[in-house]
Amino acid sequence: MSIAACGIDFGTSNSTAAVHTPDGPRLIALEDGRPTLPSAVFFNLDEERQTYGRAAIAEYLEGYEGRLMRSMKSLLGSGLMEAGTEIGGRLLPFRALVGDFIGTIKHRTEAACGHACDAVVVGRPVRFVDEDDAADRLAQDTLEQIVRGLGFAEVSFQFEPIAAAHAYEQDITREELVLIVDIGGGTSDFSLVRLSPERRALADRSADLLGNTGVHIGGTDFDKRLSLACVMPELGLGDTLRNGAPIPNSVYYLLATWHTINQAYQGKVWSGFQEIARNLAEPRRFERLLNVIRKQAGHQLAMQVEAGKIDLSAADLSTLALDEAEDGLRIALKRGEFEAAIAGEIERIGVAAETCLAQAGVAPSRIDTLFFTGGSSAVPALRQGLAQRFPAARAVEGDLYGSVGCGLAVVAGQRYG
């Protein structure tokens, strides 16, 4: 079957692609039979090649010499996008990095379809950049330039929560007023939409979109807060020098933030560490930090924190094994501590959701359904916070990783046939 159009959800943590068929949207198996491709690239210097997704993470963890990049979407709209990173003695522009990754999605999608995809609907957050319209426009313009450079003749965009609404609408049996809650790796997006079986075939749904808001907070921010609150203190955050001054905290923030981890390995940063080490009142915890930097194990540390966060969605306790910092080091993470660390983020997300309704002049009591998508929407504290704000709404969980991609395919079918 010939398929000329597809949808691509280029995510902060995971990416998907889908096509629209007579039987409805179909996610493409992008890696090892799975529809998700982790948004990761590893530059394997030992074998002089690039790997993507789970394969990239596996090679990094196996100890190959090289550089791992994650959360590349977070660079869009920032000054870093026009910079690059040094890989094996050469400078790789971040534009090229993003293009290589999305190009891999395009290639694998076309291989699965057996046909070139010459049109694409790309998902985008409601806000790439908070409170800066120029930077937000620049982010989409940059992404469009990158995608067009891959050979797509037609490129258009759809807000990710609207795409998720299209996916949910394929299965409903009555009209609903729905707040789409899309909590991804980098952003939290909300759309208030009127959905019904009668409306889902219409190409123009502008009258059914009642409100759209977003805030640049997502799962990677939860990772960062958990790391700073519970893990980085075990590596010296908060310790003091002999003169009583606190250890500079900048490197801890670099290591706790996915897209800045590699900056912690720069030579000038290491020189600063040496000076700090000579002036410490108690060096043991800081030595753990030095071990992480020596081994360039920052991403491995961040993965452990991310895994702990995921564990805490289902349990009250998780134990992190941090052997990259010190052999045998174990840290207990408690759900209560995690929830306290992200309380500010949860509040801002809740305010963004209420703002979406305020745009439309709709009272919270009128919402029929909260439709959750995005991997980070599984955090219990987030769901509880939204349930308190919208007590009359029933909660429905979509495909946390695939709803947006499927919805983009529906839109692609409507726009391009």
Per-residue pLDDT reduced to its tens digit, 37-95:
999 999 999 998 999 999 999 999 998 999 999 999 999 998 888 888 888 888 889 99
Number of Cβ within 10 Å of residue 243's Cβ equals 7
User: Is residue 112 within 8 Å of 28, Cβ to Cβ?
Assistant: yes
Alpha-carbon span 58 to 52, nearest angstrom? 10
**pLDDT value at position 417?**
79
Place of tokens 């090229």: 96
Q: Which residue has 């250890």 as its token pair? A: 247
Q: What is the pLDDT of residue 59?
A: 95
**Alpha-carbon span 221 to 60, nearest angstrom:** 23
Burial class (CB in 10 A: 0-12, 13-18, 19+), 204: exposed
Query: In angstroms, what CA-CA distances link 348 with 102, 199, 359, 367?
Result: 31, 32, 17, 20
Q: CA distances (Å), 325 to each of 50, 155, 244, 272, 322, in order? A: 27, 45, 25, 19, 6
Pairwise CA distance, residues 309 & 345, whole Å: 15
C-alpha distance across the termini of the chain, in Å: 13
Whether residue 1 has pLDDT greater than 50: no
Cα–Cα distances (Å) from 44 to 26, 47, 160, 214, 372, in that order, read 32, 6, 32, 36, 37
* pLDDT reported for residue 303: 95
What structural domains does the chain harbor? 5-172+398-416 (3.30.420.40), 227-341 (no CATH)
pLDDT band at 154 (very low <50, low <70, confident <90, very high): very high
What size, in residues, is the chain?
417
Reported as a single tens digit per residue, the pLDDT across 17-36 is: 999 888 889 999 999 999 99
Are 403 and 169 in contact by the 8 Å Cβ rule? The answer is: no
- Pairwise CA distance, residues 214 & 220, whole Å: 16
For residue 63 the two structure tokens come to 């100890």
Question: Helix crossing, 267-277 with 284-294: angle to 10°?
Answer: 160
In the predicted structure, residue 3 carries a pLDDT above the cut 70 = no
Q: What is the pLDDT of residues 359-370, one digit of tens each?
A: 999 999 999 999
Q: Give the DSSP H or E segment for 87.
A: strand 84-87
How do residues 234-255 score in pLDDT, each as one tens digit? Answer: 999 999 999 999 999 999 999 9
Q: How far is CA 89 from the centre of its chain?
A: 29
- Predicted TM-score (pTM) of the model is 0.89
Question: CA–CA separation, 311 vs 226, rounded Å?
Answer: 12
Question: Does pLDDT of 2 surpass 50?
Answer: no
- Look at residue 301 and tell me whether its pLDDT is greater than 60: yes
The first and second tokens of residue 152, run together, are 């797509």
Amino acid letter, 220: T
